[in-house]
Chain A
């Protein structure tokens, strides 16, 4: 069953000048039809302005289609009566952790979502505990979020979403502001949610190394899905990705360079281990 489905999705916004006169219309998402299965780990790539964040905001009903339809867990996101059900089914985590944390204490922050859903107090605490454990932040439950590192704050943000028991979580560049350790922590947490809790994960990122764990990758360009496939299929097309202002992980690029120099190496090498094998080491 698909958890997220879009059909002929178009999103346009009107640009206005200082006096409010219409200057033109920008089509940020252009005829996107896609289907994401429950339990998928999806990565979305694309250059700045390619439409990936605009697409993502439709899944959480922050934006509504100009044309076409988006269904989340079978519900049409344009249906006002389903708004809260849609948002509870698909949670979202943004780039800057400091803009998303409101509680004075970690566990309060995580409890904020379920509290607003009207969940009974006892169950709120159960959900807070399980969510913090799922992202490896339970031992920090009594801490002030201000004192946490960037990676820890992002994991608290993720826990806040999980506590609402979503079927799907959209992570919009969650690691852009983090140091290498923070990036690892967040990606590890996202993978665990997908593996263990079977939550559908949609990860938007500019870090190519982060997408090798995805089972499907969408590459956006000019509001459309320009490429779709497994990480290996996508990363086999080094030149095409560069045209789309993207890149490949260093190990993939190294394998590509070695192949160009005449070594027998398959396309789309994703890990050091695979490279060693390809070199017969």
Chain B
């Protein structure tokens, strides 16, 4: 089963002089279990798009199907949808509010009407999934470090046992190690549970490293939708729309221009190193 977007348009403040089209004729199929990178410059429509996937925004026209059901049809259970499609906003730590970490993570599943034991089991499992140790469970969320706070906030969404996890800039402002830890954990979690992950990011290096498909948004439209290697190969077009390729893509391009026979599709350092050694006959 999958998420399907069929000719989705979204206009903010329609019928006024301020009318602004944030999504224009978006058609996508998102099969179960994919790890998708969603990129685009500020204002390209990424956040508007992801807010349609869990029904926070309604399309002005067009339809969105979740497992075959139209999510904006009368009688569709949106509450259930929001537990299945978990959305972690930018700077999610700003939404922590409970007296301790464990209680905060319990908030979501508790609101699903689950019994206390199930709620606590889920909270416990979610905190383990994001790598927060027991010693932090009964601390105030406000006493955690930046990276830990963000993990606690992500655990709050994971405790809902989502089938689709959408992360909007989950690593903004984190140090490189904190960034790698969070993304490694999410990648491992996806392996383990088979959930779909949609990563909205401005870091081309992160996107290149983790995802198996990239959707590029520009001026409210889907501009590219392909495998990472194929997308970053078109770095010239990406630059025109305020994006870029990972630094490694430019390096491979420069090596190729200097006559070294390397593949310019390469998007990570390990592969690049091997390709260069091969091309040099080492």
Q: Which A residues fall within an 8 A CB radius of B? A: 15, 46-50, 95, 149-151, 173, 176-183, 206, 208-209, 242, 245-247, 249-251, 253-254, 257-258, 261-263, 272, 275-276, 279, 281
A47, B282: Cβ atoms closer than 8 Å: no
Known: A48-B174, A179-B243, A208-B176. A272 touches B254 (CB 8 A): yes
Q: Name the B residues within 8 Å of A261 (CB-CB).
A: 273, 277, 282
CB distance from A91 to the nearest CB of B (A): 21
Q: Shortest beta-carbon distance, B62 to chain A, in Å?
A: 26
Q: In the assembled complex, which residues on chain B have CB atoms less than 8 Å from the CB atom of A173? A: 173
Contacts of B174 in A (CB 8 A): 48, 206
In the assembled complex, B33 has its CB within 8 A of some CB on chain A: no
Q: Which residues of A contact B282 (CB under 8 A)?
A: 261-263
Bound Cα distance A150, B246 (Å): 20
Asked if B173 and A176 make an inter-chain contact with CB atoms under 8 angstroms apart, the answer reads: yes
Contacts of A257 in B (CB 8 A): 269-270, 273
Binds A, one of B69-77, B143-151, B159-167: B143-151
With an 8 A cutoff between CB atoms, is B57 at the interface?
no
Decide yes or no whether B30 CB sits under 8 A from chain A.
Answer: no
The reply to whether B42 and A258 form a contact with Cβ atoms under 8 Å apart is no
Which A-B residue pairs are the 7 nearest by beta carbons? A245-B177, A247-B176, A181-B242, A47-B175, A281-B258, A180-B244, A257-B273
**Pairwise interchain contact A263-B280, C-beta atoms closer than 8 A:** yes
| Separation of A247 and B145 alpha carbons in the complex (Å) | 19
Please give, as numbers and ranges, the residues of chain A lying within 8 Å of B250 by CB-CB distance.
Answer: 272
Most chain B beta-carbon neighbours within 10 Å: one of A15, A150, A262? A150
Q: List 7 A-B contacts (CB under 8 A).
A: A46-B175, A150-B42, A245-B177, A253-B269, A258-B276, A272-B251, A281-B260
Q: Cβ of B147 and Cβ of A48 under 8 Å apart?
A: yes
Contact A276 B254, beta carbon cutoff 8 Å: yes
Q: Complex Cα distance A261/B276, Å?
A: 11
> In the complex the two chains form, what is the Cα distance from A46 to B173 in whole Å?
12
In whole angstroms, what is the CA distance A95 to B90 when docked? 14
Chain B residues near A253: list those with CB within 8 A.
Answer: 269
Report chain A residues within 8 Å CB of B251: 250-251, 254, 272, 275
A257 and B273 alpha carbons, distance in the complex (Å): 7
Residue in B closest to A243 when the chains form the complex, CB atoms? B177
By the criterion CB–CB under 8 Å, are A48 and B202 in contact? no
- CB neighbours of B258 from chain A (8 A): 276, 281
Q: A149-B42, A181-B242, A246-B176 are in contact. Are A49 and B247 (CB under 8 A)?
A: no
B173 and A95 form a contact (CB under 8 A):
yes
Q: Is the CB of B248 within 8 A of A250?
A: yes
- Which B residues lie within 8 Å of A183 (CB)? 202
Partner of A254 from B41, B202, B272 at Cβ < 8 Å:
B272
- Report the bound CA distance from A194 to B276 in whole Å: 37
Decide if A149 touches B254 in the complex (CB within 8 Å): no
| Chain B proximity of A231: nearest CB distance (Å) | 15
A87 CB, nearest partner CB in chain B, Å: 25
CB A66 to nearest CB in B, in angstroms, measures: 20
**B280 neighbours in A (Cβ, 8 Å):** 263, 279
B178 touches A254 (CB 8 A): no
Asked if residues B242 and A180 are in contact (CB atoms below 8 Å), the reply is yes
Cα-based distance from A180 to B273 in the complex (angstroms): 25
Interface residues as binary, B171-184 with A (CB distance below 8 Å gives 1, 0 otherwise): 01111111100000
Contact pick for B247, options A50, A95, A181, A249, CB 8 Å: A249
Question: Which chain B residues border A246 with CB–CB below 8 Å?
Answer: 175-177
Q: What's the Cα separation between A47 and B272 when bound, in Å?
A: 27
The digit string for B237-278, where 1 denotes a CB below 8 A from any CB of A, is 001001110111011001100111000000001101100110
Q: Which of B174, B242, B248 has the most CB of A within 10 A?
A: B242
CB pair B176–A206 under 8 Å, yes or no, is: yes
Q: How far is the CA of A149 from the CA of B41 in the complex (A)?
A: 9
Residues of B within 8 A of A177 (CB): 169, 172-173, 202
Query: A181 to B260, alpha carbons, bound, how many Å?
Result: 29
Q: Which residues 8-35 of B sit at the A interface, judged by CB distance below 8 A? A: none
In whole angstroms, how far apart are the Cα atoms of A250 and B270 in the complex? Answer: 10
In B29-49, which residues have CB < 8 Å from any A CB?
40-43
**How near does chain B come to A101, taking the closest CB pair, in angstroms?**
14
Give the most central of A151, A177, A179: most B CB within 10 Å. Answer: A179
Residue of B nearest to A181 (CB): B242
- Give the nearest-CB partner of A52 in chain B: B175
Asked whether any CB of chain A lies closer than 8 Å to the CB of B225, the reply is no
| A246, B282: Cα distance in complex, Å | 30
B41: nearest chain-A partner, CB-CB:
A179
Instruction: Report the Cα distance A184→B276, complex, angstroms.
Output: 28
What chain A residues lie within 8 Å of B178 (beta carbons)? 47-48, 245
Return chain B residues, CB-CB under 8 Å to A254.
Answer: 248, 251, 269, 272-273, 276
Q: Write out the residue numbers on chain B whose beta carbons fall within 8 Å of the beta carbon of A272.
A: 247, 250-251, 254
Cα A177 to Cα B246 with chains together (Å) = 17
For the complex, give the distance between the alpha carbons of A242 and B242 in Å.
Answer: 30
Residues of A within 8 A of B204 (CB): 180
Query: CA of A251 to CA of B254 in the docked complex: distance in angstroms?
Result: 12
Q: How distant is B271 from chain A, measured CB to nearest CB, in Å?
A: 10
Q: Verify if B205 is at the interface (C-beta below 8 Å from A).
A: yes
